[in-house]
Structure 1
């Protein structure tokens, strides 16, 4: 049985979370009302997973996450809420070691979280099953030789879920602007978190990255992050630009934005070099999209098990036989360039 530690400064929310998790078959071994207690109980109770609030007295969630990662590394699921401030804090929490986050509907102390109990339980179980991965902050391994000879101004689509933000950032920060990609990122994430994620990618990459608009165009040297809560479809293609639009069509693979929607639409429209990359995450989203890319002569690269926090999406694609290369995250940027060179 998965053992969880619940951390929240609201007694009401601690009880709500405890009831949801226990009804879902997860043993709640303890609770903490601030970061100081969270650090102490993480060491004393040895939970499989911690649900972490961010704004708490004495010690906030960000500091608590950092201390736990230093002293007793434990998978952490941040419990956040819809606001720009919380989105910024949540991105910082992922930087400090949290695996994923769950958005509380209806505000910090709303009972509405109960209607999403099954999704919360699923996320807690997924995060509990993660393992620490190798350092992905190493120096760029990109081989610049032949970059100027790349033709066709290639299109790159990156799909990721649980554990994905750091890995997406690693790939984009290692891709040189000279390679001339047009980039689309589909990260399983809600809005306004996708906007903050795009800003973070823009700061760390040579490419100009932004959250997608209702109708948008991606030019050479630019990238878009699919806006949370919407599918992103490729609707037009020219050598130097890709046209996209957002849709509110039903979730695919129980998620919106779905990787499959973007990859399959790109396979139909992109008449040029097309590369699909699937990174860490749970579920099978991206498998059909990868197959579509392969069918039109594109290439598919997936992250290996050793560096994936959740080896779900890449594993399903490998099992489906729609993958060209399986690689550690640090080697993926170089191999993306190798693919388009060839």
Structure 2
């Protein structure tokens, strides 16, 4: 049975979360009212997973996450209110080592959380299965890959497709941060993430990379040096492509693999519409999303890569893609940007 520590400064929320987890077959071994208590109790009870509030007195969720990862690495699920401030703080906590996030419906003191019991239990179980130290084995880089002597020559009009889930945001950021602008990719990112977070994630990627990254809108168009992050709760499909410029369409069609946006939807539509070079990468995450997309990109003549098990918080998505036999290379997270770039260099 999964053992959880519930951390929230609201007694009401601690009770609600604990009851939901107990009913879902998760053993809540203890609770904490702030980050200071959380750090101590993680060492005392050694839980399989921690649900962590963001805003708390004495020590907030970001600080507590950093302390726990330094002293007693444990999978952490951030429970965040649906506010811009909490979204930014949650992304920062994930940078410090938190594995994933779950958005509290209805605000900080949520009376609506019980209506999302099944999703919360699933999220806690998924995070409990993650390797909390995987992120520390990823060499985070926000510096573009240096080019060899002389100007590198790349193929024309390449498109990069990135799909990720649990544990993915930091890896996505490290890849885009190391991607040389001269490669002139069109970039499409599908990160399983609540819809209140994808706009903040896109802004974070925009700041840390040489590419112009934005959250996708219906009808968005991009050219070389630009990228889109799929909006939470919307599938992102490539709907048109001409002369190196692509267009996307957003829709709320049925979830695929129980998720929306789905990696497969974006990759399959890209493989169908884009005639120029494609590179597809699947990263850490739970589930099977991305396997069919990798098959489609490979079938269209594209290059396919997957993150390795050692640096994946959860190896589900990469493993399922590898099992298709359509992945060209399996690499550590900190080697992916170079492999992506190398795949579009012109032969000398």
Q: Does 1:11 align with 2:36?
A: no
Q: Which runs of 5+ in 2 are unaligned?
A: none
Whole-Å separation in 2 of the counterparts to 1:44 and 1:302: 37
Residue equivalent to 2:273: 269
Contact 1:137 1:170 (C-alpha < 8 Å) held by counterparts: yes
Residue equivalent to 1:89: 89
Residue equivalent to 1:200: 204
Whole-Å separation in 1 of the counterparts to 2:2 and 2:339: 37
Deviations 1:82-138 (A, max 9, x none): 111111111111111111011111222223212222221111112112221203225
Shift of 1:54: 0.8
Shift of 1:183: 0.3
Whole-Å separation in 2 of the counterparts to 1:319 and 1:119: 27
Whole-Å separation in 2 of the counterparts to 1:304 and 1:60: 32
Deviations 1:12-65 (A, max 9, x none): 111111111112221111001111111111111111111000111222111111
Deviations 1:197-254 (A, max 9, x none): 0111111101111111121111110111111111111011123311112111121111
Shift of 1:160: 0.3
Shift of 1:141: 8.5
Whole-Å separation in 2 of the counterparts to 1:30 and 1:276: 42
Deviations 1:234-276 (A, max 9, x none): 0111233111121111211111111111111101100100111
Residue equivalent to 2:243: 239
Aligned residues: 342
Q: Does 1:144 align with 2:147?
A: yes
Residue equivalent to 1:215: 219
Residue equivalent to 2:158: 154
Contact 1:300 1:324 (C-alpha < 8 Å) held by counterparts: yes
Q: Does 1:188 align with 2:154?
A: no
TM-score when normalising by structure 2: 0.95
Residue equivalent to 1:31: 31
Contact 2:144 2:179 (C-alpha < 8 Å) held by counterparts: no
Q: Does 1:289 align with 2:293?
A: yes
Q: How does 1:301-340 map to 2 (within 5 A)?
A: 301-340=305-344
Whole-Å separation in 2 of the counterparts to 1:6 and 1:77: 10
Q: Which runs of 5+ in 1 are unaligned?
A: none
Whole-Å separation in 1 of the counterparts to 2:167 and 2:110: 27
CA RMSD of aligned residues (A): 1.5
Q: How does 1:168-179 map to 2 (within 5 A)?
A: 168-179=172-183
Whole-Å separation in 1 of the counterparts to 2:13 and 2:146: 50
Contact 1:147 1:179 (C-alpha < 8 Å) held by counterparts: no
Shift of 1:192: 2.3
Structure 1 stretches of at least 4 aligned residues deviating more than 3 Å after TM superposition: 138-143, 145-148
Shift of 1:148: 3.5
